[in-house]
């Protein structure tokens, strides 16, 4: 019998949907709040770390500037400079950017060395900090062994200098070096047969032929021939051959290699020319056996004496003068 007062049966589907809706609404309301809060703690921690870092750095810098760097006993008093060349000590100090009175703790030896090495004439530099008040600077110069002729400027002869490694440098300005040094460099042998367009101080010459010509000039200065003959130029334009011309007009052809053997042959021929009272016109040392030789009479040989050139000797070698 139907009882109108009996409890109605529960609708499980409807009740389940209601429960699901409630849960979805709760999650939907909570998720934006969670998205707003999750990054707050990492950001706060990062801000604290950054503040401590920059604040600590500023505090350390302030302590350095106010107390550490102003300690009188650490003020630089001695700045000795040693150089194996002709660059003045005052010029080296200017290039280093270090002055007497500066706190020794503010000097960065690496940075000072890099500043010195920017000079085309300086090959190497060494710095030694001796606490509490001394900085020693030792400089090794580049020594030019050849000249590169440039196009004339205003009718004047212009040239650049090259050392054994191919590094290009400018001649000393008048008054920046002893007169005998500038005169000596002005009469160095010419290196010809290479393009000079775009070559500037600080650049390095490349190419096997060019470097072989420079090695020839360097090796020649250490042989006994250097006291008896003087090179005026070396041409490197012919592949596999080096053509040297002496100040007396002799043309010597060599190969880029085994210079010691070729110099010995050259010296033997030179001695023979003295015995015969003749002069070498041309000698082709690229031919190993019986090199072609042409004699000239002394009367036909050039009689103009070359200018006296005082070359700075190789390191740890005695001074040598030759004409």
The reply to whether 16 falls in a domain is: no
* pLDDT of 50: 80
Q: Are residues 308 and 177 in the same domain?
A: yes
Q: Tell me, yes or no, whether 24 lies in a domain.
A: no
| Residue 319 DSSP label | -
Establish if 6 belongs to a structural domain.
no
Q: Are residue 158 and residue 115 in the same domain, yes or no?
A: no
Same domain for 289 and 217: yes
> What total of structural domains would you count in the chain?
2
Q: How many Cβ atoms are within 10 Å of 277's Cβ, its own excluded? A: 8
Report yes or no: 291 and 280 within 8 Å, Cβ to Cβ. Answer: no
Summarised one tens digit per residue, pLDDT across range 134-193 is: 999 999 999 999 999 998 878 788 999 999 999 999 999 888 888 999 999 999 999 999
DSSP, collapsed to helix, strand or coil, labels residue 287 as: coil
Q: What CATH number does the domain containing 135 carry? A: 3.10.20.310
Identify whether the C-beta of residue 236 lies closer than 8 Å to the C-beta of residue 205. no
pLDDT at 308: 46
**Which CATH number covers residue 241?**
3.40.50.11690
Is the pTM higher than 0.85? The answer reads: no
Q: What is the pLDDT of residue 222?
A: 92
Task: Give the C-alpha separation, 278 to 319, whole Å.
Answer: 30
Could you tell me if 174 and 285 lie in one domain? Answer: yes
CB atoms within 10 A of CB 284: 15
Per residue in 234-244, pLDDT (tens digit) is 999 999 999 99
35 found inside a domain: no
Taking only the tens place, the pLDDT of each residue in 64-76 is 656 666 788 889 9
Which segments of 67-135 does DSSP mark as H helices, in order? 89-96, 109-117
Same domain membership, residue 155 and residue 277: yes
CA distances from residue 263 to 3, 34, 36, 44, 216 in whole angstroms, order as listed:
136, 89, 87, 79, 10
Residue 121 in domain: yes
Same domain, 114 and 257: no
Domain ranges, residue 298: 144-312
Query: What single string gives the DSSP state of each residue in 132-154?
Result: TTEEEEEEEE--EEEEEEEEEET
Domain boundary pick from 120, 141, 162: 141
194: its two tokens: 């290479």
User: Are residues 117 and 176 both part of a single domain?
Assistant: no
């Amino acid at each position: 019998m139907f009882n109108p007062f009996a409890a109605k049966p529960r609708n499980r589907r409807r009740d389940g949907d209601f429960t699901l809706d409630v849960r979805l609404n709760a999650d939907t309301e909570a998720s934006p709040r969670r998205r707003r809060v999750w990054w707050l703690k990492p950001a706060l921690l990062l801000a604290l770390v950054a503040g401590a870092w920059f604040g600590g750095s500023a505090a350390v810098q302030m302590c350095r500037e106010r107390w550490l760097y102003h300690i009188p006993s650490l003020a630089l008093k001695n700045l000795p400079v040693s150089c194996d060349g002709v660059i003045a000590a005052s010029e080296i100090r200017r290039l280093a950017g270090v002055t007497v009175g500066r706190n020794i703790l503010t000097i960065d030896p690496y940075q000072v060395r890099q500043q010195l090495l920017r000079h085309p004439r300086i090959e190497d530099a060494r710095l030694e900090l001796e606490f509490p008040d001394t900085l020693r600077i030792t400089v090794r110069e580049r020594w030019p062994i050849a000249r590169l002729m440039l196009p004339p400027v205003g009718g004047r002869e212009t040239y650049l200098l090259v050392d054994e490694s191919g590094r290009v440098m400018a001649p000393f300005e008048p008054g920046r070096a002893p007169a005998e040094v500038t005169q000596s460099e002005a009469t160095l042998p010419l290196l010809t047969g290479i393009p000079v367009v775009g070559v500037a101080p600080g650049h390095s010459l490349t190419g096997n032929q060019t470097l072989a010509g420079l090695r020839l000039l360097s090796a020649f200065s250490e042989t006994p021939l250097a006291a008896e003959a003087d090179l005026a130029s070396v041409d490197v334009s012919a592949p596999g051959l080096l053509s040297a011309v002496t100040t007396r007009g002799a043309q010597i052809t060599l190969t880029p290699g085994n210079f010691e053997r070729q110099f010995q042959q050259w010296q033997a021929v030179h001695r023979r020319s003295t015995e015969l009272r003749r002069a070498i016109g041309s000698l082709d040392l690229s031919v190993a056996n019986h090199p072609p030789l042409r004699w000239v009479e002394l009367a036909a040989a050039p009689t103009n004496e070359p200018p006296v050139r005082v070359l700075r000797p190789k390191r740890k070698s005695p001074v040598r003068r030759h004409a």
